[in-house]
């Protein structure tokens, strides 16, 4: 029964703590956790990465809403320019193909605007004066000169969502008024000379979402009208795309193609280009002279390519550039001198790019900078503290104003640190004043208490620094995270956690040998001298583990200074400086220790269960083993989530940014706070010493007073009962 009672109580306590922690975490969240944002008219919180990614995730679609996603910096001249007003055309309303219900086709005509559906060829019985023709979601497979020969007044032609595979030579001959041609979402594979001949007034050509592998725009040579070309989401390579001299071209969109390089002559004949987008290609090389003739470029998008390095002069001709997006490229470390020529920059996207070894005031050079999109939160506070609109806005622990953002984290830091320090101090006091205690066990537990107390000291210092930086963290973040104070604080926490793991592993093995082999174990009992030497070795190993990254990355404090709490979990940024060493510690040393502890205690309790009736195992050893089982279980509860989060992060599975703060404050140190309760305060000898001390005397005196008071009241109650038996009825009624 003793085993079942202890097991049930311990399991209940741990389950209650886990459930309570989950509830506290859940109910302490804002409307949405840090790093996520609330969808309109719902309770759904979407992570930052899901906003403005081209896929609607919120019920009302507000995650892709223009007002939420739009960065107004960039080129707007084309949209805002004055356009000529054409005289109203007159069309005969009788010249409109009527809807034929049986054939499920027909046209709707309003003035000179015609919308048709259900056709496999362009109908020839419409008014020759039509100015806008819309043939979306029809079944057109090719375009020939005969299709539009009758309609020479067309200014806008929509041919989206058809099955057009072929443009025959001279298909648009005579369309001198056509200014908008939309061929999006078709099956085109080749654009060659002759396809667009005759389009002398064309301003916009949209041919996105086709299957184009080769495009030659020689038909537009020296065009003074063509201003916009969209060839995104095709299969074009750099050597299968030819642009003639296009002096009027302002906007060129080549997103999501197969372009792998930008040569010096690729864009050389587009002198007035103001916006160029090459996002989502396979560009790995940009010639240093690639942009030499693009000094009017104001917006450049090179995001999501395969660039690993960039020539320092590649942006030199782009002095007028106001918006640059080069994020999501595997650039190891972007030197700031690459960006120096862009003094008019207003919006910069460098997501998922490391920017470690640059000056703290590097981005102060860009006086007009309005938007910055970084990989890491601390880049905002480090390199661009004067840029108002900087993303990401948090690292899950700190905000732009405070070291610890949430009030619960602030309170928990102080509460857990005080409990940890006081609890372990009481353990040390109890173990030092003990006269008949097992010396070896005392040595082990004293050292464990010291290592656990260091975690409390670490949290208390974090609490003091949070007060110190309250309201000014944005200005002081880089100074704090790059300081030796932060590094030493991180080392303190690392020493605490690693020494604890080593001692617990050592104690587990020592208890295993003693309990599972009591006769043989008595002959190889650990001597006090051996225990002291073992503890010294473990402290040395723990200190070395904490110091190695300081020496190895001595030119940078970023191993411990990745965030304001100075602890290198590397779950919010799994591949930051020293990620390999962090993985070695948490997935190597700590996981190995956890496996040893778990295996040893499972084997130990199986042995106890099987042999408790036949083995001369003392009741004290059995109780200690059960109690220590729960000590180890708390370590499993603490380290298992960290290990799982670490593995998820290394697998590039996104981890919520705010989890980092909760892990550091609650999960990491909780066993240090709980251990004293489990391995000292619940022992019979501790309770016996407490009853003998002044606390016990006070308790016993209070207990005697309470007993005497209860006894007096019981006697008085009996006397009252006897009296009540003879009271008159009218007295009772009152």
Mean pLDDT, residues 647-661 taken together = 74
Q: Could you tell me which of 8, 131, 19 has the C-alpha nearest to residue 637?
A: 19
Q: Could you tell me which of 603, 446, 598 has the C-alpha nearest to residue 531?
A: 446
Q: Is the pLDDT of residue 727 over 50?
A: no
What does the radius of gyration of the chain's CA atoms come to, in whole angstroms?
Answer: 38
Any domain includes 584: yes
Assign 245 a pLDDT band (cuts: 50, 70, 90): very high
Contact 107, 114 (CB under 8 A): yes
Same domain, 665 and 553: yes
Structural domain containing residue 165: 111-258
Q: Is the pLDDT of residue 589 over 50?
A: yes
Q: Which two tokens stand for residue 130?
A: 């039509």
pLDDT digits (tens, 9 = 90+) for 596-647: 888 887 787 777 666 655 555 555 555 655 666 676 677 777 788 888 888 8
Q: Which two tokens stand for residue 616?
A: 């001369």
Same domain, 443 and 549: yes
Report the C-alpha gap between 734 and 729 in whole angstroms: 9
Q: Is the pLDDT of residue 305 over 90?
A: yes
Strands 285-286 and 275-277 come out as unpaired
Any domain includes 733: no
Any domain includes 63: no
Same domain, 20 and 123: no
Same domain, 17 and 135: no
Assign 461 a pLDDT band (cuts: 50, 70, 90): very high
Q: Give the number of domains in the chain.
A: 2
Contact 600, 509 (CB under 8 A): yes
Q: Is the pLDDT of residue 100 over 50?
A: no
Contact 31, 650 (CB under 8 A): no
Prior bond of 392 cis (ω within 30°): yes
Q: Is the pLDDT of residue 528 over 90?
A: no
Any domain includes 698: no
Q: Which of 258, 291, 314 is the last residue of a domain?
A: 258
What pLDDT is recorded for position 23? 58
Contacts of 606 (CB under 8 A, 6+ apart): none
Stretch among 244-248, 263-267, 439-443, 723-727 having the lowest mean pLDDT: 723-727
Any domain includes 471: yes
Using alpha carbons only, give the angle 329, 644, 21 rounded to the nearest 5 degrees: 115
Same domain, 26 and 157: no
End-to-end CA gap in the chain = 54
Report the C-alpha gap between 692 and 678 in whole angstroms: 21
Select the highest-mean-pLDDT range: 213-227, 410-424, 482-496.
213-227
Report the C-alpha gap between 701 and 697 in whole angstroms: 6
Q: Which two tokens stand for residue 202?
A: 């064309």
Same domain, 122 and 225: yes
What pLDDT is recorded for position 76? 52
**Whole-number mean pLDDT of the chain?**
79
Mean pLDDT, residues 40-68 taken together = 70
Mean pLDDT, residues 269-286 taken together = 95
User: At what angle are helices 484-516 and 439-468 packed, to 10 degrees?
Assistant: 150
Mean pLDDT, residues 159-169 taken together = 94
Mean pLDDT, residues 396-416 taken together = 73
Assign 287 a pLDDT band (cuts: 50, 70, 90): very high
Report the C-alpha gap between 188 and 163 in whole angstroms: 8
CATH code, 145: 3.80.10.10
CATH code, 453: 1.20.1070.10
Half-sphere exposure of 600 (CA within 13 A, CB side): 25
Strands 285-286 and 323-325 come out as unpaired
User: At what angle are helices 528-552 and 439-468 packed, to 10 degrees?
Assistant: 30
Same domain, 25 and 127: no
Q: Dihedral of CA 31/37/38/40: which sign?
A: positive
Q: Which two tokens stand for residue 570?
A: 């590397």
Q: Could you tell me which of 714, 672, 237, 257 has the C-alpha nearest to residue 496?
A: 672
What pLDDT is recorded for position 510? 83
Mean pLDDT, residues 441-457 taken together = 90
pTM over 0.75: no
Same domain, 520 and 613: yes
Mean pLDDT, residues 725-729 taken together = 36
What per-residue string of b and e applies to 691-719 under the rule 16 or more CB within 10 Å gives b?
eeeeeeeeeeeeeeeeeeeeeeeeeeeee
CA 83 to each of CA 26, 203, 229: distance values in angstroms, whole numbers, following the listed order = 55, 11, 18
What pLDDT is recorded for position 329? 93
Three-class SS of residue 167? strand
Mean pLDDT, residues 183-208 taken together = 95
Report the C-alpha gap between 20 and 637 in whole angstroms: 14
- In the block, tokens 């004043």 appear at 433
Same domain, 24 and 164: no
Report the C-alpha gap between 662 and 409 in whole angstroms: 8
Q: Is the pLDDT of residue 523 over 50?
A: no
pLDDT digits (tens, 9 = 90+) for 64-93: 776 656 665 655 555 455 555 555 555 555
Q: Which of 676, 691, 706 is the last residue of a domain?
A: 691
Same domain, 153 and 16: no
- Residue 248, classified by CB atoms within 10 Å of its CB into exposed (0-12), middle (13-18) or buried (19+), is middle
What pLDDT is recorded for position 724? 43
What pLDDT is recorded for position 720? 47
- In the block, tokens 């904490």 appear at 546
DSSP state of 50: G
Strand ranges of the sheet holding 241-242, from the earlier edge strand across to the other edge: 190-191, 214-216, 241-242
Q: Which two tokens stand for residue 238?
A: 């750099």
Any domain includes 420: yes
Assign 248 a pLDDT band (cuts: 50, 70, 90): very high
Q: Which two tokens stand for residue 182?
A: 């939309």
pLDDT digits (tens, 9 = 90+) for 5-29: 555 655 665 566 566 666 555 555 5
Mean pLDDT, residues 698-719 taken together = 51
Any domain includes 359: no
Report the C-alpha gap between 516 and 494 in whole angstroms: 33
Report the C-alpha gap between 284 and 306 in whole angstroms: 5
Contact 465, 433 (CB under 8 A): no
Query: For residue 646, which phi and psi values (nearest 5 degrees)?
Result: -65, -45
Same domain, 128 and 31: no
What pLDDT is recorded for position 134? 93
Any domain includes 209: yes
Greater confidence (369 vs 3) lies with 369
Mean pLDDT, residues 148-177 taken together = 93
What pLDDT is recorded for position 390? 76
Q: Which of 240, 258, 276 is the last residue of a domain?
A: 258
Cα 157 to chain centroid, rounded: 44
- In the block, tokens 């390095």 appear at 309
User: At what angle are helices 619-650 and 484-516 packed, to 10 degrees?
Assistant: 140
For the chain, the farthest-separated pair of C-alpha atoms sits apart, in whole angstroms, at: 125
Report the C-alpha gap between 484 and 550 in whole angstroms: 10
What pLDDT is recorded for position 411? 86
Q: Which residues pair with 215 in a beta bridge?
A: 191, 241
Q: Is the pLDDT of residue 36 over 70?
A: no
DSSP state of 338: G
């Amino acid at each position: 029964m003793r085993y079942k009672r202890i097991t049930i109580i311990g399991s209940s306590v741990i389950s209650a703590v886990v459930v309570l922690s989950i509830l506290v975490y859940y109910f302490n969240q804002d409307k949405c956790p840090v790093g996520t944002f609330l969808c309109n008219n719902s309770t759904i919180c979407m992570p930052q990465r899901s906003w403005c990614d081209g896929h609607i995730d919120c019920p009302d679609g507000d995650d892709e809403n223009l007002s939420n996603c739009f960065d107004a910096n960039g080129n707007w001249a084309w949209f805002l320019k004055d356009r000529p007003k054409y005289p109203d055309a007159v069309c005969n309303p009788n010249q409109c193909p009527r809807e034929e219900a049986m054939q499920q086709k027909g046209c709707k005509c309003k003035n000179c605007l015609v919308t048709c559906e259900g056709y496999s060829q362009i109908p020839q019985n419409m008014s020759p004066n039509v100015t806008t023709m819309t043939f979306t979601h029809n079944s057109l497979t090719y375009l020939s000169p005969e299709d539009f020969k009758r309609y020479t007044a067309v200014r806008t032609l929509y041919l989206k969502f058809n099955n057009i595979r072929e443009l025959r030579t001279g298909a648009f001959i005579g369309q001198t008024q056509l200014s908008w041609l939309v061929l999006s979402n078709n099956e085109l594979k080749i654009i060659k000379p002759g396809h667009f001949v005759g389009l002398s007034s064309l301003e916009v050509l949209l041919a996105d979402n086709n299957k184009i592998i080769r495009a030659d725009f020689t038909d537009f040579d020296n065009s003074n009208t063509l201003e916009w070309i969209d060839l995104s989401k095709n299969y074009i390579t750099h050597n299968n795309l030819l642009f003639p001299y296009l002096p009027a071209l302002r906007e060129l969109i080549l997103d999501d193609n197969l372009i792998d390089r930008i040569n010096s002559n690729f864009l050389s004949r587009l002198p007035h280009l103001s916006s160029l987008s090459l996002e989502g290609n396979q560009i790995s090389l940009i010639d240093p002279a690639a942009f030499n003739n693009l000094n009017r470029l104001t917006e450049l998008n090179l995001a999501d390519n395969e660039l690993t390095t960039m020539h320092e002069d590649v942006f030199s001709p782009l002095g007028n550039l106001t918006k640059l997006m080069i994020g999501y490229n595997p650039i190891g470390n972007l030197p700031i001198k690459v960006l120096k020529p862009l003094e008019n920059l207003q919006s910069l996207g460098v997501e998922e790019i490391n920017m470690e070894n640059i000056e703290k005031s590097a981005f102060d050079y860009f006086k007009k900078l309005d938007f910055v999109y970084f990989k890491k939160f601390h880049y905002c506070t480090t390199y661009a503290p004067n840029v108002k609109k900087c993303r990401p806005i948090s690292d899950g622990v700190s905000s732009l104003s405070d070291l610890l953002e949430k009030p619960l984290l602030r309170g928990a830091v102080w509460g857990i640190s005080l409990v940890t320090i006081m609890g372990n101090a009481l353990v040390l006091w109890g173990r030092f004043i003990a006269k008949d205690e097992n010396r070896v066990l005392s040595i082990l537990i004293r050292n464990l208490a010291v290592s656990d107390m260091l975690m409390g000291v670490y949290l208390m210092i974090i609490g003091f620094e949070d007060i110190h930086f309250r309201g000014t963290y944005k200005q002081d973040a880089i100074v704090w995270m790059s300081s030796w104070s932060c590094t030493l604080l991180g080392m303190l926490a690392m020493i605490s956690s690693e020494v604890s793991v080593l001692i617990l592993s050592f104690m587990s093995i020592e208890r295993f040998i003693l309990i599972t082999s009591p006769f043989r174990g008595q002959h190889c009992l650990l001597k006090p001298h051996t225990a002291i030497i073992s503890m010294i070795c473990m402290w040395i190993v723990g200190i070395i583990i904490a110091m190695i990254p300081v020496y190895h990355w001595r030119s940078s404090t970023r191993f411990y200074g990745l965030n304001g709490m100075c602890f290198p979990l590397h779950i919010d940024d799994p591949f930051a400086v020293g990620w390999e060493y962090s993985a070695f510690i948490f997935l190597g040393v700590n996981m190995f220790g956890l496996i040893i502890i778990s295996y040893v205690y499972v084997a130990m309790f199986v042995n106890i269960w099987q042999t408790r009736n036949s083995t001369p195992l003392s009741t004290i050893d059995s109780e200690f083993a059960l109690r220590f089982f729960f000590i180890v279980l708390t370590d499993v509860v603490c380290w298992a989530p960290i290990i799982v989060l670490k593995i998820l992060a290394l697998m590039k599975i996104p981890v919520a940014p705010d989890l980092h703060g909760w892990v550091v404050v609650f999960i990491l140190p909780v066993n240090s706070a709980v251990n004293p309760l489990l391995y000292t305060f619940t022992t019979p000898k501790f309770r016996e010493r407490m009853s003998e001390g002044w606390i016990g005397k006070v308790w016993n005196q209070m207990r005697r007073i309470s007993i005497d008071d209860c006894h007096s009241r019981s006697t008085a109650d009996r006397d009252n009962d006897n009296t009540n038996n003879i009271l008159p009825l009218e007295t009772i009624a009152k």
